[in-house]
Amino acid sequence: MSDGREKKDAADFGGWEPGMVVEDEGYDPGQVVPRADDTGMPSDTGSQVPPPRDTLGNQLDEDGNPVESIKRVATRDIEAAWSGLALANRVGAMLLARDPESANDWELYDMPGAAEAARELSQALKKAKALLQRKLKALDVDYEPPWSDDEVEAQVGEALGDVYRRVAEPVMKKHSDLGAQDTEPRYVMGQALINAIKDFYGISYNQWTELGDWI
């Protein structure tokens, strides 16, 4: 009876028996070779040929092209995004640092006399910045950062408002027929003076936004 059972067991596995040696005749390198596990039964997994690699050890696809991992591609895309953001911030800072000069910069009406009005507004801004710097030096603020103290902010804000009213507003009123007292030109003038304060203290243009309340 034992012979019958052994023959039946061998037949169930296509003629394979535990301990049987697999002949290498006609062996295909990509073939999955069955192997016995601890129980003596054939395992579902076998020895597979490792994926092809180039001379640097990079895995290649079926066409021979390097295979990039998802992690590597994601990291590269993130680095590119941060690089683009940094460039945009630098360009934005350069644009903010540049003082307005033309009628378009000052957002005046496209009318005769706008170029001359823009020139006078630019001159007023230059005078206002010089006066503002003298006032800031006179404050002799040693706080770091300066906006961390309400009293300091009040002193700087009052200096800003005083310079704006004394130097900038008269010229803007003079050219009100060209829109110099509209919201946009007033913002351009005020922002240029605020940027001058931030340059004086060496801080970023996106900080101390409360200064605009003093104009």
Predicted confidence (pLDDT) per residue in 12-59, tens digit = 545 556 555 555 555 555 555 555 444 445 555 555 677 777 666 677
Amino acid (1-letter code) at residue 182: D
Give the C-alpha separation, 64 to 24, whole Å: 28
User: CB-based contacts of 162: which residues, under 8 Å, 6+ apart?
Assistant: 135
Respond yes or no on whether the N-terminal peptide bond of residue 18 is cis (omega within 30° of 0).
Answer: no
Between the two ends of the chain, the Cα-to-Cα distance in Å is 107
What sign has the CA pseudo-torsion 51, 55, 57, 62?
Answer: negative
Helix, strand, coil percentages, rounded to 5, for the chain:
55, 5, 40
Residue with the bigger pLDDT between 115 and 91: it is 115
Task: Spell out the domain ranges in the chain.
Answer: 51-97, 101-214
User: What is the per-residue pLDDT for 93?
Assistant: 47
Torsions phi, psi for 22 (to 5 deg): -85, 125
pLDDT digits (tens, 9 = 90+) for 114-138: 999 999 999 999 999 999 999 999 9
